Amino acid sequence: MTAPAARVCVLGPSGRMGRAVIEAAAGRSEVRITAAVDRADAPGLGTRVADMVITTDIAAALEASDVYIDFTSPAATRAVAALARTRSRAAVIGTTGLGAEDEAAIAALAEVAPVVVAANFSLGVNLMLGLVRTAARALGPEWDAEIVETHHRAKRDAPSGTALMIGRAIAAGHDVAYDTVKRHTRDGDVGARPRGEIGVASVRGGDVIGEHTAVFFGPAERIEITHRASSRAIFAAGALRAAAWVVGKPPGRYDMLAVLGLA
Ligand code: NAD
């Protein structure tokens, strides 16, 4: 017997990712969009998506769903996680630029419900994390590791959440804590590059959906591992897969590798 479709609440349905999630859900049997919630000043409020009227009533939306998908802003992610905690509602969270308070709200939700959190829901980037970790481990900190990320001009946070995941994967390959070796952009007289530093440069412009390159500079040779997203549909499909997977799991925080069976 096949499992019933997971009932999904989409946050921010008028946003870039919210729209992509709703489009990707059409024609999928494992998920059904049952609620769509946006901010009071969102352009699509009151209109219909996937037979749903977009409202601001998050409490009713959580009641009508098994899991919510969140690609919004850190403040919204924090507020909705606190509400979802009172209902032990499962969550799939893709918002990036999260601070300590936002992470604490997610951790509190994960005590009572299963929560998938990923700064990138694409299969390719999640595979890339394993590749860069392997490369960093094999090459060691003698090979200078740098990350370059490029995104559209509307992106608010920098470095991207994906660049941070890549940085952490390289640091794990070097057996060091990322925060002790990271260098987010350089400006002014920063001195020569210390051995083991992991630099991240952020480029913003146009409508680039997301590009990440990890560069390993060796003596007279260089390795570059690049991922380029050319459609938000890959993130949306990954988030929907995570939503169908997470319903019914024990409380806890999961990543995309767990969803993909690669953990
Ligand atoms: P966007 O600005 O186009 O959309 C954000 C949406 O959230 C808007 O519709 C906004 O009205 C809505 N929103 C804000 N507060 C809300 C609230 N309290 N309740 C409900 N809705 C609310 O942004 P975007 O490009 O779709 O990106 C959103 C987030 O997702 C960013 O943090 C981005 O970095 C991240 N992102 C993650 C992935 C991934 O794979 N994890 C991929 C792409 C983008």
- What's the chain's average pLDDT? 95
Residue in the structure block whose two tokens are 């609440």:
9
Q: Quick one: which atom of ligand 1 is closest to the CA of 74?
A: 32
The pLDDT of 252-260, averaged and rounded, is 95
Best residue for ligand 1 mutational test, from 11, 55, 56, 72 (most atoms within 8 Å of Cβ) = 72
Average pLDDT over every residue of 198-220: 98
- The rounded distance, in Å, linking the Cα atoms of 36 and 108 is 24
- pLDDT band for position 206 (cuts 50, 70, 90): very high
Beta-sheet pairing, 221-229 with 31-37: unpaired
pLDDT average, residue stretch 234-257: 97
| The ligand 1 atom nearest the CA atom of 96 | 32
Q: How many angstroms does the Cα of residue 135 sit away from the middle of ligand 1?
A: 32
Between the CA of 16 and the centroid of ligand 1 the distance, in Å, is: 7
C-alpha span between 146 and 200 (Å, rounded): 6
Mean pLDDT within 219-232: 98
10-19, 105-114, 205-214, 254-263, range with the lowest pLDDT: 254-263
Residues recognised as catalytic: 151, 155
- Model pLDDT, residue 1: 61
* Nearest of 40, 41, 6, 35 to residue 18 by alpha carbon: 35
pLDDT tens for each residue of 114-142 = 999 999 999 999 999 999 999 999 999 99
pLDDT at 45: 80
**Which among 56, 61, 103 is positioned nearest to 82, based on CA atoms?**
103
Q: Please state which of the ranges 1-5, 38-42, 171-175, 229-233 shows the lowest mean pLDDT.
A: 1-5
Structural contact between residues 150 and 203, judged by C-beta atoms closer than 8 angstroms: yes
Q: Does the structure show a pLDDT above 70 at 32? A: yes
Residues 48, 19, 32, 242, Cα dihedral to 10°: -160
Distance 134 CA to ligand 1 centre (A): 32
* Global pTM value: 0.94
In this structure, the strands spanning 210-218 and 48-49 are unpaired
CB contact at 8 A, 21 and 239: yes
What's the chain look like in SS3? Answer: CCCCCEEEEEECCCCHHHHHHHHHHCCCCCEEEEEEECCCCCCCCCCEECCEECECCHHHHHHCCCEEEECCCHHHHHHHHHHHHHHCCEEEECCCCCCHHHHHHHHHHHHHCEEEECCCCCHHHHHHHHHHHHHHHHHCCCCEEEEEEEECCCCCCCCCHHHHHHHHHHHHHHCCCHHHHEEECCCCCCCCCCCCCEEEEEEECCCCCEEEEEEEEECCEEEEEEEEECCCHHHHHHHHHHHHHHCCCCCEEECHHHHCCCC
- What spacing in Å lies between the alpha carbon of 107 and ligand 1's midpoint? 20
- What's the whole-number mean pLDDT along residues 235-247? 97
Question: Quick one: average pLDDT of 1-15?
Answer: 90
Which ligand 1 atom sits closest to the C-alpha of 44?
Answer: 9
Report pLDDT for 50: 74
- Measured CA to CA, the distance from residue 144 to residue 91 in angstroms comes to 37
- C-alpha to C-alpha distance for 184 and 170, rounded to whole angstroms: 15
Q: Among candidates 77, 74, 163, which has minimal Cα distance to 125? A: 163
Q: Is the CB of 39 under 6 A from ligand 1?
A: yes
Closest CA to 232 of 126, 121, 148: 121
Q: Which of 11, 22, 71, 155 to mutate to test the pocket of ligand 1 (most atoms within 8 A of CB)?
A: 71
38 lines ligand 1 (CB under 6 A): yes
Q: State pLDDT tens for residues 52-91.
A: 888 999 999 999 999 999 999 999 999 999 999 999 999 9
Q: Is the pLDDT of residue 257 over 70?
A: yes
pLDDT of residue 60: 95
